[in-house]
Structure 1
Amino acid sequence: MMSLRAIARAAPRVLARPSTLRPAAAVVRTAAARPSFAITQKASAAFTTSAFRRAPAGEVDEELAAKLSSELEFETSVKEGETLPASIKDFLENGQFELKDVPGQQDVFLTRNFGNEKITVSFSIADLSSFQEQNFEDDALADDQDFEEINSRDSTKSGAADLAEEAEEDMEGGADTDAMPCRLNIVVEKPNKGALNVEAIAQDGTIVVENVYYYKDAKLAHSSNPDAVHAAQDAYPGPAFGSLDEDLQILLERYLEERGITPALALFVPDYMDMKEQKEYLAWLENVRGFVEA
């Protein structure tokens, strides 16, 4: 589900933000307005690289640093009021996967052994940003459609009031809180036997399998090397999962469930993505502010 934190973060940007850009007339200077400088040997000697290095920072630096501090304070206050979701706590305490989450990187990995198999599940917080962006675009489109609907109705207060009431009912009914689909890349490897690469979606507490690939070389399921990526793309992808015999689909889903691809994982991934994205955003604010202030 799209987090309230993400909505709160984006709302000020979507609803109203006064422009900080100056009018063109205020920043364009004519040649006549520029001060003239006499180029003399003495003036040239007074200008040194040392003086250049000690030049003051840009005019907007202080204002930008202050804004970054304000954003950081807001995000920190939001985080302080949160508790660790039960889905994350339970999965990490009771699950059989080992978590690999490197600060500053978008991808998260879960690994475990199952018999002679090595299982890797990966997902990326980049999907969260894409989902939020798409939601905001959809909201903007819906607002445009509502505006057109108002204009198409009789120009009476009742038409606008009816539409406002409908929008309020949608909000109360949770119409804008669609569950976020989280892409999973699942790899099951066996020594000298290659790997199965499963593409799936975690959403609403369920795992939906989309594709199942087989690679004779397990490296094709992991490597980002251009040659490996090209070789993986050339491999026969197999039929669409939904077109398989229904019993075969059920057995493949049970096969994955035995290896830990369960509803608990489907609940864990979206919540963990949201938590990690918040951590990375706070770190980004800190890093950018530090750079601007340096």
Structure 2
Amino acid sequence: MARLLRSLRKTLTLIPQFHISRRSYISEMRKEAFEGNISRLLRNEIQYEIQSSSSSKPPANKFGSFLVDGRPSERWVTLNRQFADENIKVEVTMFDGAAPAPKVSGGVANADEVQLHITLIVNISKGDRGVLEIMCSAWPDSIEIKRLFVRADKNTPAEPYAGPDFEELDDELQDGLYDFLDARGIDNKLATYLHQYMKHKDKTELIGWMEKVKSFIERK
């Protein structure tokens, strides 16, 4: 009788362990199936993006006198050039906004049509004589100045007075500042180039991001 009781106790103690082991096995199977599905979806998306961009030619890493640093895996691109005694650096975001497309002449714009927006931060320096910083918007075919100010030295306040909105300035002064940028190669042609560049970068970064996520999920 005692032997029978001991045998029953062993059986009873094994039952919960069996259930725990089985539950753990099922949970692991579900986890692997879930991760496998995500991996498959990512693989399909990567393949689609690669195929849809296979015919597009990457933009040149040089535009006019500007050398372009694509800064892979970042949301920024940097352009550099020399102009007389000035060092010019342009920091450019990837697409960071959109606005309704303007109406075509004599017609009505499609409500679904938008034009993407890029922000430019233009820094023009002359050695230790300070930096002129100009904030601009780049639309698909135009540059729009938003604001500008001079950072005199390293002691510039964290939030310096940046002057009035550009539109508040005298029209002739506005035209003169646009001419100032044009002379340095920051013009409507650059805006068009940057939009083409960012379309390619946007797709490249998306593919890279999906590949990193897929690699992490598949890691054992």
> Is TM more than 0.5 here?
yes
Other-structure match for 1:232: 158
Aligned pair in 2 of structure 1 residues 272, 121: CA closer, same or farther (>3 Å)? Answer: same
User: Are 2:35 and 1:61 equivalent residues in the alignment?
Assistant: yes
Alpha-carbon contact 1:75-1:282 (below 8 Å) kept: yes
Give distance in 2, aligned partners of 1:242 and 1:95. 29
Give distance in 1, aligned partners of 2:169 and 2:78. 29
Q: 1:99 is matched by which residue type in structure 2?
A: V
Other-structure match for 2:56: 82
Deviation (angstroms), 1:232 = 3.4
Deviation (angstroms), 1:93 = 5.3
Other-structure match for 1:205: 141
Secondary structure of the residue aligned to 1:239 is coil
Other-structure match for 2:131: 195
Give distance in 2, aligned partners of 1:264 and 1:285. 32
The residue correspondences of 1:1-294 to structure 2 (distance < 5 A) are 38=13, 58-84=32-58, 88-89=59-60, 92=61, 95-125=64-94, 127=96, 130-131=97-98, 174-217=110-153, 231-233=157-159, 235-294=160-219
Aligned pair in 2 of structure 1 residues 39, 188: CA closer, same or farther (>3 Å)? Answer: farther
Deviation (angstroms), 1:175 = 4.4
Alpha-carbon contact 2:95-2:117 (below 8 Å) kept: no
Give distance in 2, aligned partners of 1:209 and 1:107. 19
Deviation (angstroms), 1:177 = 2.5
Give distance in 1, aligned partners of 2:57 and 2:111. 25
Could you say which structure has the higher helix fraction?
1
Runs of 4+ in 1 over 4 A off after TM superposition: none
| TM-score, normalised by the number of residues in structure 1 | 0.59
Give distance in 1, aligned partners of 2:73 and 2:119. 20
Deviation (angstroms), 1:78 = 0.6
Unaligned runs of 5+ residues in structure 2 are 1-11, 22-27, 101-107
Give distance in 2, aligned partners of 1:93 and 1:99. 5
Deviation (angstroms), 1:209 = 0.5
Could you say which structure has the higher strand fraction?
2
Deviation (angstroms), 1:187 = 0.7
Deviation (angstroms), 1:94 = 5.3
Aligned pair in 2 of structure 1 residues 70, 204: CA closer, same or farther (>3 Å)? Answer: closer
Q: 2:216 is matched by which residue type in structure 1?
A: F
Alpha-carbon contact 1:196-1:215 (below 8 Å) kept: yes
Aligned pair in 2 of structure 1 residues 266, 94: CA closer, same or farther (>3 Å)? Answer: closer
The structure with the larger Rg is: 2
Aligned pair count reads: 196
Give distance in 2, aligned partners of 1:105 and 1:59. 32
Aligned pair in 2 of structure 1 residues 82, 186: CA closer, same or farther (>3 Å)? Answer: same
Task: String of CA shifts for 1:204-226, please: whole Å, max 9, x gaps.
Answer: 41111010111102x68xxxxxx
* C-alpha RMSD of the superposition: 3.1
Task: String of CA shifts for 1:93-123, please: whole Å, max 9, x gaps.
Answer: 5510011112111110001111111111111
Secondary structure of the residue aligned to 1:179 is strand
| TM-score, normalised by the number of residues in structure 2 | 0.77
**Higher RCO (C-alpha 8 Å, min separation 6):** 1
